[in-house]
Amino acid sequence: YPIDFQLGTYELVLGNKQFINSFQITILVTVVGTLSSMLMTVLSAYPLSKPNLIYRKPILIVFIFTMLFNGGLIPTYLLMQKLGLVNTVWSLFVPGLISVFNMLIVKNYFEGLPESLEESAKLDGASNVRVLFSIVLPLSMPVLATIGLFYAVMLWNSYFNAMVYITDPGLKPLQLYLKELIASTNETMKLSGEIDVNRDLNSTPEAVQAASIIIATVPILCVYPFLQKYFVKGVLVGSVKG
C-alpha cells in the first residue's frame, strides 16, 4: 500500500529535456497533421460527392483500391527519401495524410445535404469554393469534428512512422519516446544535483514509465469532451446515405 501521496515522479518526468522535446514534437505534428488531413479530406470528398463529376466512379475505385493494397514499406521509404522527408517532421504525418475511410464518411455526409442550398448560392454568384467553405462546411460540423478527432488520436498515438523515418533524437515524438522508455525497464534516468528523497528515491523505473504514460494521455483526453456531442451524430449521419 502507498505510504503517502507524492508528486516527485511527475517532477522528474517533466524535468527531462527529451520528454519535453518529444511532447512538443507530438503537439506540433498532431495540430499541423490534423489540419492538413482535414483539408485534404474535404477537398477530396466534396467533388466526389457530386454525381455529375466526370470519371467519378473510376476515381472512387482508385481510392478504394488503396484501402486494400499499398506499395509496401521499402518503396514508401525510398519515396520519402527521394522527396527529402526522412528525418524531418513532415515524415511523421505526410505518409498518412488522408484516410480513404474518413474521406468516404465525409463524402456520404456531403451527399446527404440539400442540393437546393448550393443551387441558391450559385444563383447568387457564389463559386464552388465559396459554397464549400461558406455553406457546406458550417453545416457539416458533426462529421468534421468526428473525423478531426479520428485524425488527432491517430497522430497522437502514432510511433511507427517515427521508427522508420526518424533517427535524430531531437525529432522523436512522444509515443516513440514512451516505447523506448518502456522497452528499457532496467535502465535508470540520469539525475543531477542533490538527492531529493520525495522525488528521486521514490522514482523507480516502473513509476517513471507510469507517470510518463499518464502525462502523455491527459492532453488527448481533455480534447474529447469538447467533441463528444458531435461524435456519435457525425458517424451515424455520415455513414449511411438516405
Residue range 106-111: average pLDDT? 90
Supply the mean pLDDT for the chain: 81
Residue range 94-108: average pLDDT? 91
- Residue 230 CA, chain-centre distance (Å), reads 18
pLDDT value of residue 96: 86
pLDDT value of residue 195: 41
Using a 10 angstrom Cβ sphere, with 0-12 exposed, 13-18 middle and 19 or more buried, the burial of residue 199 is: middle
CA distance 67 to 160: 18
CB neighbour list of residue 30: distance below 8 Å, 6 or more residues apart? 152, 155, 156
CB neighbour list of residue 12: distance below 8 Å, 6 or more residues apart? 189, 191, 199, 200, 203, 208, 211
30-39, 116-125, 152-161, 162-171 — which one is most confidently predicted on average?
30-39
Contact 175, 215 (CB under 8 A): no
Residue range 224-238: average pLDDT? 60
Q: Over the stretch 16-44, which tens digit does the pLDDT of each residue have?
A: 788 889 889 999 999 999 999 999 999 99
| pTM exceeding 0.85 | no
Q: Which of 56, 36, 29 is nearest to 98 (CA)?
A: 36
